[in-house]
A and B are shown apart, each in its own frame.
Chain A
Amino acid sequence: MSEIVAADTAWVMVCTAMVMLMTPGLALFYGGMVRKKNILSMLAACFAVIALVSIQWVLFGYSMSFGSDVSGVIGGLDYVLMQGVGQDAGSYAGNIPHMVFAIFQMMFAIITVAIIASAFAERAKFISFLAFSFLWATLVYSPIAHWVWGGGFLSGIGALDFAGGLVVHISSGISALAVALVIGKRKGYREYTFEPHNLPLTAIGVGLLWFGWFGFNAGSALAADGLAANAFLVTNTAAATAALTWLFTGWLMDGKPSVLGMLSGAVAGLVVITPAAGYVDVASAMIMGFMAGLLCYFAVLYRTRSQVDESLDAFAVHCVGGVLGAVLTGVFASSAVNPGIDGGLLSGNTVQFIAQIESVVIVLVYAFTVTLVIAKAVDLLFGLRANEQEEYLGMDIAEHKEKAYA
């Protein structure tokens, strides 16, 4: 009979709130990078996702992710409407109330969906984004969450994902790419420059994200203990290393150290460490952060020179960073950090590494394919895009009849 541990419960509840704050943080991060006429639409997207997925989750999202396993593929209906999710501990964590586990997980679902707003930026109809978000949370997020964390088949093959490399970043990142392919590029993309209209907002956003990410990664230990401490430390280390790496890379490549580059680097570092935070040490975190800073810089650069307008680079940062992180987890995972695992390539274990690669491929293929279908379906139903006139006017006026700055 498991017992609720007050310290763990308090810790995870605080982490839940921290992770929640990451979505408004993301809203500001994205909002500052778009043109002035579109900022409200980015805020609307993120806040609407918070509301929408909060409800979807308690209705059936949680159950689909963490309900009793059905053929390794999806969770059952046991927890629909939060039945059976009470104040006592659940099966996933014996030390915290089931409700706390459920709402903690909810915040992950929320931010994952919100990340995809990157591909809708500055040209999407709000109704279409809402419909897409609801369908994606249900058809992509929940299944993948179940496979990796809910007792599904990816945990069955031994794939490691501490806080959401697969479940959050790879899935949302590749899905953003799929949406970008369906929705098409913004009018004027690559013809003239779209300048970020408010980088101070972006900076505040990254501050909130970095702060909240401690809740994301360290909270995933589901306990206020040494493992959480490890996750906390390596998270910061990876973020810092990646921020400096991108800063200096931009300095060398483009002439000056850019603030936006440094901020983007921090995010890339936070992404790369997410699957690994409870499995790797500080030295590994530095290497991973360095590689993420470098790789994601070039991924963004490549995207800006391509015809695919994945506007705010969720793919280049979250998918690329996430894949890197998931794969490197299979390299650097260490039983010295986490006695519950066998370790990765550096520990002489190839099985883990292979499981990581397999899980990455499966998530990539599934998320990409299903997202293409959802995007196409929503496009047929509502039309993904606003028309050209509306795009010139800006989404704030066109879709919300609001002005951000009077």
Chain B
Amino acid sequence: MHKRGKKKMYKIEAIIRPEKLEEVKKALEERGFYGMTVTEVRGRGRQKGIKMQWRAGEYVVDFIEKTKIEIVVKEEDADALVELLCGKAATGKVGDGKIFILPVKDVVRIRTRERGGPAVGNGKEWRFG
């Protein structure tokens, strides 16, 4: 069912320190954000590489392991989500990560074919099982 002038949706892509995932996940749950996709990624920004050791001698690894969380939310929830992520994922040191906010054209729930808002959900309909 398509509505004219339906609400905008955004994908929040947050690249965070892997050790912050649990904390972030718990905070999201408490706020009703259950749905997310988590990927292990490698990357770099300003955080320089780390020095590793081989049989003899050192070598530098340029890419640091991070965790990417992707959540799609309705426009009105986006700011709150970003605020939460920044609060929980930050340590104050270089390497805390970045958040990208992308517009999403549409969202479909595969099981029911619902589109748009109903497909995104906001945790209120959350059920186990």
Contacts and interface: CB of A to CB of B under 8 A. Distances in A.
B61 interface: yes
Interface in A296-326: 297-298, 300-301, 304-305, 313
Contact of A256 (B53, B56, B57, B60): B53
Contact of B55 (A256, A264, A305): A264
Which 4 pairs from chain A and chain B are nearest by CB? A301-B56, A300-B56, A258-B53, A193-B59
Contacts of A255: 51, 53, 58
Given A195-B52, A255-B51, A301 B57 contact: yes
Contacts of A250: 53, 55-56
B128 interface: no
7 contacts: A195-B52, A254-B53, A254-B56, A258-B55, A260-B55, A261-B56, A305-B57
Interface in A201-235: none
A260 B54 contact: yes
Contacts, number: 44
Contacts of B52: 195
Nearest to A302: B56
Given A254-B57, A300-B55, 10 more contacts: A195-B52, A250-B56, A253-B56, A254-B58, A258-B55, A260-B54, A260-B55, A264-B55, A301-B56, A304-B56
Contacts of B59: 193, 195
Given A193-B59, A193-B60, A304 B54 contact: yes
Interface of A: 193, 195-196, 250, 253-256, 258, 260-261, 264, 297-298, 300-301, 304-305, 313
A250 B57 CA distance: 8
Nearest to B58: A254
A254 B56 CA distance: 8
B17 to A, nearest CB: 21
A313 B55 contact: yes
A264 B56 CA distance: 10
A264 B53 CA distance: 13
A193 B59 CA distance: 7
Contacts of A253: 56-57
Contacts of B60: 193
B53 A193 contact: no
A191 B9 CA distance: 44
Contacts of A305: 57
Contacts of B54: 196, 258, 260, 304
Nearest to B60: A193
Interface string B44-76: 000000011111111111000000000000000
Contacts of B57: 253-254, 300-301, 304-305
Contacts of A256: 53
A283 to B, nearest CB: 27
Contact of B56 (A193, A195, A196, A297): A297
B55 A261 contact: yes
Nearest to A317: B55
A260 B55 CA distance: 5
Nearest to A297: B56
Contact of B53 (A261, A298, A313): A261
Contacts of B58: 254-255
A254 B51 CA distance: 10
Interface in B14-59: 51-59
A298 B56 contact: yes
Contact of B61 (A195, A258, A298, A301): A195
Contacts of A196: 54
Nearest to B51: A255
Contacts of A260: 53-55
A264 B55 CA distance: 7
Give the most central of B53, B56, B57, B61: most A CB within 10 Å.
B56
A301 B53 CA distance: 12
Give the most central of B52, B55, B58: most A CB within 10 Å.
B55
B62 to A, nearest CB: 8
A250 B60 CA distance: 16
Contacts of B56: 250, 253-254, 261, 264, 297-298, 300-301, 304
Contacts of B55: 250, 258, 260-261, 264, 297, 300, 313
Nearest to B52: A195
Interface in B67-105: none
B84 to A, nearest CB: 35
A253 B51 CA distance: 13
A304 B55 CA distance: 10
A298 to B, nearest CB: 7
Nearest to A313: B55
Contacts of A195: 52, 59, 61
A238 to B, nearest CB: 18
A116 to B, nearest CB: 19
B59 to A, nearest CB: 5
